[in-house]
Structure 1
Amino acid sequence: MLKKKIKQLLIGTNNKGKLKEIRDLLPNNIKTFPTSKFNLKSPRETGKTFKENSLIKSQYFSKKTNLICLADDSGLEIDILNKKPGIFSARWAGKKLNFNKAIQKVYKALDKKDKNWRNKKINARFVCALSISDLNKRIACVVGKVDGYISKKPKGKNGFGYDPIFIPKNKIKTFGEMKPFQKYKLDHRSDAFKKLRKFL
């Protein structure tokens, strides 16, 4: 754990949706930089868990810029699909991060597994690993989760990624239908941030 408070952070993601959400969740007194400022491409994610991939990113971006880096690795786990897409959530969207394509891939996989899945509650969760690294030194690595179900069809234009097909437990709206402040009260990233606060 750092003895001094962190005053500036590189946000280690090239996903604009994640960048916005992380900035919204961070304390206002921390100055943030996007990876685009340094024209950095993301490293290869060779980890087997969200935690491992998050650390790969935060250490890589920190070494490239000499800045303390906060990186996120997150995704959607669907129980009936053996927790897929999981750590491959972004990769299901292809190089251009086309999440409409990824969502269709999820629905195809569900249809293949069970033709009647729309008449059932399909358990799923969003998982988020957040890590902070200072060059090779790991300052923190935490995991947040939110449980819920897969929507029968995509709903809502808010959020990003798989938000239009995820209904959190005890709610009727998808994350895609919620306003950001509603989503931030519930989601996996804010759950992880609660655990990260003592490091900020």
Structure 2
Amino acid sequence: MTVRVLVASRNAKKLRELQRVLDSAGIDGIELVGLDQVPPFPEAPETGATFEQNAAAKARDGAAATGMPCIADDSGLEVDALRGMPGVLSARWSGRHGDDAANTALLLGQLQDVPEDRRGAAFVSACALAFPSQDGETEVTVVRGEWRGHIVREPRGANGFGYDPVFQPEGEERTAAELTAEEKDASSHRGRALAQLVPVLAALAASG
């Protein structure tokens, strides 16, 4: 029997990323469902002060609205020279939510005069898995993954999304946008966080 799991996202790339994590772990019996595949429900705004708070809220909302286990993530870029910003504001750093080009351009402008040795940064992902509850006490597991690197001066690469073209991971000559999907999964912040959920997802698949 297949267990349906809601992924609280409309980003098809995130669904494919989680599917690759399941496949590489040999987990069968889970059908991933995106927000576009379920009836609309009220989604709370992402007003948490941390990635963990936002991910947990989205996962609880999804599980409560659909009755399915729900995975949600909140992720972003923390830049050392900007004291951890844009952080939870990463997707709307330029003032327009999801405008990758504008967000990246603003970030590069803010770092224009910052020397190489102070351009350190980390991609951070908090992933939450919530199970629907009959008594109102929703069980939520939250994990965190980080991917260290630094910000380059010009965008490079056409893969990925968000700030990937200006983020060069530690030990790499390429930016995140120059890596293949499989290479990124193996070391990315979201990949590292999702990998921590594999035991729970394996048990869920076995229970179905």
Q: Which category describes the TM-score, using the shorter chain as reference length?
A: 0.7 to 0.9
- The CA distance in 2 between the partners of 1:37 and 1:138, in whole Å, is 23
Question: Which residue of the partner structure matches residue 19 of structure 1?
Answer: 15
Deviation at 1:95, TM superposition (A): 4.8
- The one-letter code sitting in structure 2 at the alignment partner of 1:163 is D
- The one-letter code sitting in structure 2 at the alignment partner of 1:34 is G
Unaligned runs of 5+ in 1: none
Question: Which residue of the partner structure matches residue 150 of structure 1?
Answer: 151
**Which structure 2 residues correspond to residues 51-200 of structure 1 after superposition, within 5 A?**
51-92=52-93, 95=96, 97-111=98-112, 115=113, 117=114, 119-120=116-117, 122-135=119-132, 136-200=137-201
- The CA distance in 2 between the partners of 1:62 and 1:79, in whole Å, is 35
Question: Which residue of the partner structure matches residue 33 of structure 1?
Answer: 33
Deviation at 1:137, TM superposition (A): 1.4
The secondary structure found in structure 2 opposite 1:10 is: strand
Aligned residues: 192
1:43 aligns with 2:47: no
Asked if the contact 2:56/2:128 (under 8 Å) is kept, the reply is yes
- The CA distance in 1 between the partners of 2:2 and 2:90, in whole Å, is 30
Against the structure 1 CA distance between its residues 73 and 198, is the aligned structure 2 distance closer, same or farther, given a 3 Å change threshold?
same
- The CA distance in 1 between the partners of 2:142 and 2:98, in whole Å, is 25
TM-score by length of 2: 0.85
Q: Structure 1 stretch 148-157 or stretch 129-138: which is displaced more?
A: 129-138
- The one-letter code sitting in structure 2 at the alignment partner of 1:167 is Q
- The CA distance in 2 between the partners of 1:131 and 1:81, in whole Å, is 27
Asked if the contact 1:131/1:138 (under 8 Å) is kept, the reply is no
- The CA distance in 2 between the partners of 1:119 and 1:144, in whole Å, is 24
Deviation at 1:30, TM superposition (A): 1.0
Q: Structure 1 stretch 93-102 or stretch 147-156: which is displaced more?
A: 93-102
Against the structure 1 CA distance between its residues 144 and 73, is the aligned structure 2 distance closer, same or farther, given a 3 Å change threshold?
same
The secondary structure found in structure 2 opposite 1:84 is: coil
Deviation at 1:7, TM superposition (A): 2.3
Deviation at 1:97, TM superposition (A): 1.3
Asked if the contact 1:126/1:188 (under 8 Å) is kept, the reply is yes
Unaligned runs of 5+ in 2: 202-208
Deviation at 1:64, TM superposition (A): 1.5
Asked if the contact 1:118/1:152 (under 8 Å) is kept, the reply is no
Deviation beyond 6 Å, 4+ runs, structure 1? none
TM-score by length of 1: 0.88
- The one-letter code sitting in structure 1 at the alignment partner of 2:44 is P
